[in-house]
Amino acid sequence: MATITRWVNAEGSLTDWQKIGGLSVVATMNSDDNGTSFFNNDGESGLNDSQSFTFDPLPSYIAQVIGHTAYFKAAKRSGNDKTVQPAAWFGTWDPGANEVLTVAGTWVSFSRTDMNTATPTVDQMNAGELRLKHTGGTVGDAGWTYTYWDVNTVLTGGGLITAFLQWLPPLFAVASHGLLKCEVTQILSKLNPRPSNDEEVRKILEAFRVRPCYNF
């Protein structure tokens, strides 16, 4: 099993809330800034307003989703305490039981596991959104900031191990010359599948004890 962390890449299909602060949508929701910038429901008539976000797709070597947990921060921005419902949005609204949360005047972190669909397909997960719905405390605002989505997955054919086996021949072909870090990057960029993140590249560099590349 591997846990993949997915980050916000855009607003989703539900856009009732308003962005407060000067950062982009991506920077706003991926930065734990305690509400320097955030999304806010529209105050006096905000009951049942919903906001959702889409996330980075899962890597191509993921075979199956076996669970997921959403993390986010929310707070009352004005008026009385608010209630909100977090849910995974796979094309239908079904928040499940015990999903209503009460938010007060400070930013509080929450998590919800296996919302709506505990084991979506990879395609459903890639198309899915996280949604927050304002359900109670109609006078005043609720805010939402900093969210990400952890997905528990099964890798295809060993995932990274299988990919390493595909990467080894071209790497060994030039290893006797003493690989530079920039040379490894150029080689891997031409492979399919490519390393999907910095951690995979770091493992390769460590395995081959490659020399750093300096540009003057």
Amino acid sitting at position 100: V
Q: How high is the pLDDT of residue 60?
A: 83
Residue tagged 């599948």 (tokens): 193
Query: Rounded to an integer, what distance in angstroms lies between the CA atom of residue 8 and that of residue 120?
Result: 19
> Digits of tens for pLDDT over the chain (216 positions)?
788 899 999 999 999 999 999 889 999 999 988 888 999 987 655 678 889 999 999 988 888 898 899 999 999 988 889 999 888 888 766 655 557 889 999 999 999 886 766 678 899 999 999 999 888 887 788 999 999 999 988 877 555 555 555 555 555 555 555 666 666 666 666 555 566 666 666 666 666 655 555 554
Q: Smallest Cα–Cα separation from 187: which of 174, 200, 202?
A: 174
Give domain limits for the chain: 2-156, 159-208
CB atoms near residue 72 (< 10 Å): 22
Query: Rounded to an integer, what distance in angstroms lies between the CA atom of residue 183 and that of residue 170?
Result: 11
Mean of the per-residue pLDDT values of the chain: 79
One CATH from 2.60.40.10, 1.20.140.10, 2.60.120.260, 3.30.365.10 for 2-156: 2.60.120.260
Question: Which distant-in-sequence residues (6+ apart) come within 8 Å of 216 by Cβ?
Answer: none
Alpha-carbon 176 to chain mean position: 39
Q: What share of the chain is helix, strand, coil (3-state, %, to 5)?
A: 25, 40, 40
